[in-house]
Structure 1
C-alpha cells in the first residue's frame, strides 16, 4: 500500500528543482533535436530502405502531425493525472518508439514508429513548461526561461549537425539508425532520474478529460496541417483547400462547445479564459507568426546549402554552429540581464535584429552568388541568432507569466501547438515563396543560380514576417513579467479564481 503523498508548504521551493529542471530540459532538447535530425539523413534512409517518396514524406510528416494533434490533449492530461506521471509515460514511450525506429525492418514500420514517437512527444513536451511553471517560484522563472531559450537555440541547429555526424560515421555499419538509437540512453536516464527528482503537480480541482474537445481539436488540426504537409507533393489538389477551409468551422464548433463545457462542469480541454489574459493572448499571436518565419527559413536554408550550393551534409551542419551559439548566448542574457530592465523592448529589438540579419544574408547572397563560403555566412547567421535569442526565452516567459498554475498544462500545450501550426504554415508557404520562383526545367549547371534566386526571394518574405512580429509585439505587456512575478511572490494570497469553482484554490505540488 502506497503511503499518502505529502504536500509542499505553499511558497516553499522544492530543493530538488534544479535536478528536475535538468531532466525536463534534456527531454525538451531530445525532442527538438529529433524534429530536425531526420531531415539530414533522408537520402541515407531512402537508399538503405528503398523507401518511396511518399514514405519518405511520411517519415517527417507523420511525426509532425501526431505531435501537433496531441499537444493540447497531452497538456490537459498532465493537469488531470499529474504532470510528472504523464511526463514519465511520454519519455518512456518516446524512448521505446525511438528503438522501434532504429530497428525498423521496412519503411512501413519506420513510418508507424515515427507516428508513435510524435504521439509520445505530445505527452512529454507540454509537461516541460508545466513542471517549470509549477516547480519554480515566480522570481526564478526568468533565469529558467533563459536556460530554456538556450536549449531551443542549441536544438535548432544541433539536430542537423548531429545527424550529419552520425550518418557519415556509419557507426557499427548501422548507416542512419544511430540518429534514433542515440535517444535510448538519454531517455532511460531521464526516466530513472525523473522518478527520483521531479515533484508531482496537478490541477487543484478534479478535472475530467474532455473527449469531445479532443476529437474536435484533433480533427481541426489534421484538416489544416495534413494538406499543408502534403500539398506540394500532391500538386495542391482542390480537396486540400476544401479541407483547410473546412478546418475553420470545426475550430468554431470547438470554441462554442468549450464555452458550454466550461459553464457545465468547468473541465474544458481548452481553457478559453486564458485568452482574457492579455500577455497570454498576445504571446500566442507572436508565437504563431514567429513559427511561420522559422518554418520558411530553416527549410529554404537547408535546400539552399545542400542542393543549390552543392555542399556536403557535414559542411552544411557546421555552417549553422555560429547561429546556434549566438541564440544560446543571447537567450541567457535577454532574460537575466535585459528583460528586467527594458521589458517588451528586448523582444522588439530581437525581431528587428533578426530582420537585419536576414537582410544582410540577402545582400551577401546577391554579392557572392553560388561562390559564397561558410565564413561569409557567419555574420548574418550570428546577427540572426542574436535576434532569435532575444525573442525565444522572454516570449515563453511572457506567455506563461500571468497564467494560473492550474491551467499550466493546457497553456503549455497551446504554446507548443501554435508553434507547430506556425511552422506548418511556413512550410506550406515555401512552395510559393521558394519553389514558386524556381524554374525546374533549367540545365543542371544553372540550378545553383536558381536556388540562389529562390533563397533571396524567400528571405524577403521572412524579413516581412519579422516586421509583422515587431508590430504584434506592441500587444505584449510593457514591463518585465519576471519582475511582476517577483513582486507578486512577496505577497502571499489566493491565486486567481478558476471558472466553475466556488473559491480560489492553490496548485497541488506533491513530493514523490
Structure 2
C-alpha cells in the first residue's frame, strides 16, 4: 500500500451548496495556493543577488535560497498527499496555506541569512502539505464529465505564472515599495494568503478522513536525511575548501537514499504501508523517469539561477531587466507545450525536446563566445527561446509517458514520487550549476566581465551534459502514452 496514492473521491451532492459557481471559486482558491508555491520557487533566482548584497551573505547563500526551499518540498511531498488522506484534504491545504503565509512574513522580516534560509526551508515543507491536496479537492468538486475542464484551466494558469514569476520578482525589487526592496517578493504573499485562507475555510469541501491510515514517517525522515546529506556538500563544499569529510557525507547521503529503497522493500514484505511501492523500482520506465526528472529539472532550475546571476552580477542588469530578459525562454516554453499537442504524447516528442534544449544551450555558448565582453544579454534571446521550446516539448509528455510504463494501481505512488524527483532536480540544479559558476568565477578574480563569461560557459557545459543524460534515459520509456493522466 503506497502512501502517495489518493483514494477515489466521493462525489458531492448537487444543489445550491455545491453550485458550479462555488466549485469554480474553490478551484480559484486552489490555484492561488499553487501559484504562490510556484512563484516562491522562482523569485529568488532573480532576487538572490539583491538579497545577498543587502544581508551580506555568501555566494552559497544565493544557492541555499533556491535549494533549501526545493529540497524541503521534495522530502515533504513524499508524505503530503497521504497526510491529506488521513486528516482531510481541506484541513491539510488550509494548514499548509496558513503556514506558508506565516513563513512568507518571516522571510520578509528576516534580518540575517540564517533566518531567511530557515524560513525558506519551512516554506518548502508547508508547500508540500498544500500542493498535493489540489488534485483530490478538484476531483471532488465536479462530476467525472466536467473534471477535465477544471484540470484544463490549471495548466495555462500555472504556465503563465511561470512566465510572470521572474518578471514580478524583478519589478517588486526595483520598485522598492515602502523601502522594502526584495522583502516585497515575500510580503506580497501575506494579503493574498490571508484572503485565500478565509475563502478556503468557507468554500472548500471537506473530504472523508482515513484516521486509521498508517504513514511511514520513519521512511520520510530517512529520505529527507539522504537528500540533505547530498545537497549540503554540493553547496557548501566549495566554501569549505572541499575537505575529505564533505565527500564522505556525499557518499553517505547516496547510501542513505539506497537505504530508503531497502526500507520500502522491508515494510512491504511485512505488509506495512510504504511511501513508494517497491515494485516500481523494478520497472525501467519508472526508474528512467526518476533520472530524467532529476537531470532535466536540474537544468531548468539551475539554468534560471545561472542566467539570473549572469545578467545581474556579470552584465550589471537591474532585477527587472534580468526578469524581462527571460521572457524569450518563457514564451518558447509555452510554444513548446502547444507543439507537443501536435506531435503527440510520445517518447519521440520528449527526445526532440531534449535535443532542442541542447541546441539552445549550444547557441547560448556560441553567442557568449563570439561577442566581445561584456555580452549583450538581448542577443541571447534566440538561444533562450530555443531552450524554452525544447523544455516545453520535453516536459509536456513527461508524466503521461512515464506513468504509461507502470500498472494502473501504481500510478498514484509513481506520480507522487516523480513530483518529488522534480524538486530534487531543482535543488541539485541550484547546487551543482551554482557551484560550477562560482568556482570558475572565483578562480578568475580580477578579470572583470570575462570571468563571468567563463563561469557561465562552464556551467552551460555542465547543463548540456545533464540534458544529454536525460535524453539517453528516454530509450527505456514506453513509445507513447497509452492513457491520459489528469492533473
TM-score range, shorter chain: 0.7 to 0.9
d(CA) in 2 for partners of 1:408 and 1:158?
A: 31
Structure 1 residue 74 displacement after superposition = 1.8
Native 8 Å contact 1:76 1:413 kept in 2:
no
Q: TM-score, normalized by length of structure 1?
A: 0.79
1:338 aligns with 2:339: no
Q: Which runs of 5+ in 1 are unaligned?
A: 1-5, 487-512
* 2:467 is the alignment partner of 1:462: no
Report the counterpart of residue 214 of structure 1 in structure 2: 220
* Match of residue 35, structure 1, among 41, 63, 71: 41
Match of 1:426 among 420, 429, 454: 429
**CA gap 1:369/1:295 in 2 versus in 1, 3 angstroms:** farther
Cα distance, 1:222–1:129 mapped onto 2, change above 3 Å: farther
Conserved 8 A contact 1:356-1:384: yes
Distance 1:401 1:358, change over 3 A: same
Residue number in structure 1 paired with 2:392: 389
Question: Quick check: 2:312–2:319 contact (8 Å CA) kept in 1?
Answer: yes
Q: Aligned match of 1:82 in 72, 77, 88?
A: 88
Deviation at 1:387, TM superposition (A): 1.0
Match of 1:479 in 2: 480
After TM superposition, give the deviation of residue 98 of structure 1 in Å.
Answer: 1.0
User: How far is the alpha carbon of 1:461 from its aligned partner?
Assistant: 2.9
The alignment's TM-score, normalised by the length of structure 2, stands at 0.83
Partners of 2:471 and 2:148 in 1: CA distance: 21
Alignment match of 1:310 (pick from 306, 313, 316): 316
Residue of structure 2 in register with 1:500 after alignment: none
- What does residue 129 of structure 2 align with? 123
Q: Do the aligned partners of residues 387 and 189 (structure 1) sit closer, same or farther apart at CA in structure 2, a change above 3 Å counting?
A: farther
Query: Counterpart in 2 of 1:256?
Result: 262
- Residue 3 of structure 2: aligned partner: none
* Aligned-partner Cα distance in 1 for 2:400–2:143: 13
Q: Return closer, same or farther for 1:62/1:469 CA change in 2, 3 Å cut-off.
A: closer
Q: 1:423 to 1:114 in 2, by over 3 A?
A: closer
Report the RMSD for the aligned CA atoms in angstroms: 3.7
Answer yes or no: is the 8 Å Cα contact 1:339–1:346 preserved in 2. Answer: yes
Unaligned runs of 5+ in 2: 1-8, 14-18
1:364 maps to which residue? 367
Q: Give the paired residue count.
A: 473
Q: Specify the alignment match of 1:453 in structure 2.
A: 454
Query: Aligned residue for 2:350?
Result: 347
- Superposed counterparts of 1:179-194, under 5 Å: 179-194=185-200
Q: Deviations over 1:61-94 (max 9, x none)?
A: 5434433332212233234333333222211210
Offset at residue 231 of structure 1 (A): 2.1
> Separation in 2 of the partners of 1:182 and 1:114?
15
Q: Given that residues 67 and 426 in structure 2 are in contact (C-alpha distance below 8 angstroms), is that contact kept between their aligned partners in structure 1?
A: no
Residues 402 and 126 (structure 1 numbering): CA distance in 2 closer, same or farther, change over 3 Å? Answer: farther
Matches within 5 A, 1:62-461: 62-104=68-110, 107-128=113-134, 150=156, 153-156=159-162, 158-195=164-201, 198=204, 206-275=212-281, 279-335=285-341, 337-339=342-344, 343-400=346-403, 410-430=413-433, 433-438=436-441, 440-443=443-446, 446-461=447-462
Q: Measure, in 1, the Cα distance between the counterparts of 2:299 and 2:92.
A: 31
Moved more, 359-368 or 266-275: 266-275
Which stretch shows the higher mean deviation, 318-327 or 390-399?
Answer: 390-399
Asked whether 1:7 is paired with 2:10, we answer yes
* Paired residue secondary structure (1:369): coil
Looking at structure 2, the residues matched to 216 and 126 of structure 1 have their Cα atoms a distance apart, in angstroms, of: 21
Alpha-carbon distance, 1:284 to partner? 2.2
- Distance verdict in 2 for CA 1:349–1:201, change over 3 Å: farther
